[in-house]
Amino acid sequence: MIEVESFWTLYGEAAQTAFGFFWKAGWVFVLGYFVSAMIQAFVSKRRLTPYLGSFDLKSLSLSTLFGAISSSCSFAALATARTLFQKGAHFVTAVAFMFASTNLVIELGILIMIFLGWQFLAAEVVGGLLLIAISSLLIQLTYPEKWVNAAKKSLDESSSIEKEFDWKERIRSRKGWHLVGHKFVMEWQMVWEEILIGFTIAGFMAVFVPADLWAKIFLIDAAGTMPEWMRVLENAMVAPFVAALTFIGSMGNIPLATVLNANGVLFAGIMGFIYSDLMVPPLVAVNAKYYGWRLALYIAGIMYIAIVATTLILHYLFDFLGITPESARAISDVAQFKIDYTFWLNLVFAAVTAGLIYLHRRHLKEHTMKGMDHGGGLTLKRVIVYLFMVILAGGLVAQVVAGGAG
């Protein structure tokens, strides 16, 4: 049982760890969403879609590339995939886009490099491609043609209409860059709640969740008492369910993966956790809204099988090459405040953010959109976000008080 004094010390430490995660990743998010905003502003989905209409290597490669340079927001990935599917993209290429846009984007790669190291970054890239190849093969072998056709008919053909534009002309215009600022802000409006929830949970789990709980879930203590291949298989199969229980998609699961790594979870389990961001219940529900529950659960099932297969291949491939991460990376090494490259990059990208917000406001002024509602209102998710803000603020107060008492 945790004593009262010990609880407040741990509470402050957890809040500080969560803020340390935010601090370490701040500039990465700005860079990633800035790149994503430029892609959205200057690349026409309508021009790209005709090249994604068939299931072949070219279409699959293009959808993977387009996903890799688009938004890393899980909800945005699903919405864009639906738009591509509506406009004529093959169902397989739409699914490939989903995987690529949440596993191969630049900001995710940088975050993994910072939080977990280069081996995990290499695994993310190689595994992301494997994931797309395996899921595409599985869909081809089990293609639910009736469900796909029914989903296509039920989608509203009039939605998500994109006007034609000349990207060369747009990139040279002030209004084009005003649009970049607008897209950047809209990206943040979609993801900031998810990021805050994910990073806060990671900070508190790093401090409060005992190591023996992770040991039981991922059979860490069973090393040497059972065949290693059984532990690897168990980690690969359980990790997606652990990810689903967190209800966190997109970028929020990287700090949590760091917590798993720090507690000795196998490489296969950590990679399985990272890849499972599209399997969390809210995202499955979004797919159900787009395609119906049958196809949404089919996609989730394909994802699960592909994730388990990919993580097993990665685990043994990296073991064969001798590059499997051996030692856990301490949370304290990641979530720390000091004058280093992170400090200076955060300053630079804070200025970039200010400039993009200014461009966003210019865009709103030009389009008289100041009164638009961008998803406000007191939803359950918003209530949770506000609660987490209060918890973080309370933790910082506890940390200050504990520091003063010390």
* End-to-end CA separation in angstroms for the chain: 23
**Which segments of 265-379 does DSSP mark as H helices, in order?**
267-275, 281-291, 293-321, 331-334, 341-367
Q: Using an 8 Å Cβ cutoff, are 185 and 35 in contact?
A: no
pLDDT of residue 377: 63
Give the per-residue pLDDT at 270.
Answer: 93
Decide: residue 371, CB within 10 A, 0-12 exposed, 13-18 middle, 19+ buried: exposed
How far is the C-alpha of 89 from the C-alpha of 55, rounded, in Å?
9
The pLDDT of residue 191 is 72
What six digits make up the tokens of 187? 């990206």
pLDDT in tens, 210-249: 888 888 999 988 888 889 999 999 999 999 998 887 766 6
What pLDDT is stored for residue 382 in this prediction?
A: 84
Q: Number of helices (H) and strands (E) in the chain: give both, helices first.
A: 19, 0
- pLDDT digit string, tens, across residues 174-185: 999 999 999 899
Q: Quick one: pLDDT at residue 122? A: 93
Q: What is the pTM of this model?
A: 0.74
* Interacting residues of 222 by C-beta distance below 8 A, sequence separation 6+: 231
Domain count, the chain: 1
In whole angstroms, how large is the CA radius of gyration of the chain? Answer: 22
Question: pLDDT tens track of the chain, all 406 residues?
Answer: 556 668 888 898 888 888 888 888 788 778 877 877 887 788 776 677 777 888 888 888 888 888 887 765 676 677 778 777 877 788 999 889 888 888 887 778 888 888 888 899 999 999 999 999 999 999 999 999 899 888 888 775 545 456 677 878 999 999 999 999 998 998 788 778 877 887 788 788 878 888 888 889 999 888 888 899 999 999 999 999 988 877 666 566 788 888 888 888 999 999 999 998 888 787 788 788 888 889 999 999 999 999 999 999 999 999 999 998 865 656 666 666 777 778 898 999 999 999 999 999 999 998 865 444 445 567 777 888 899 999 999 988 887 776 655 5
Separation between Cα atoms, residue 242 and residue 248, nearest integer Å: 10
Give just the sign of the alpha carbon dihedral 200, 204, 206, 209: negative
**What is the Cα–Cα distance from 202 to 337, expressed in whole angstroms?**
17
Residue 280 backbone zone (phi > 0: left; psi -120 to 50: alpha; other: beta): beta
Domain span at residue 301 reads 4-405
pLDDT for position 158? 42
Please tell me the distance from the alpha carbon of residue 87 to that of residue 85, in angstroms, as a whole number.
5
- How confident is the model at residue 325, as a pLDDT? 83
User: What is the structure's pLDDT at 176?
Assistant: 93
CA gap 396, 406 in Å, rounded: 15
> What are 373's two structure tokens?
């509602």
pLDDT for residue 194:
73
Cα separation, 13 vs 6, whole angstroms: 11
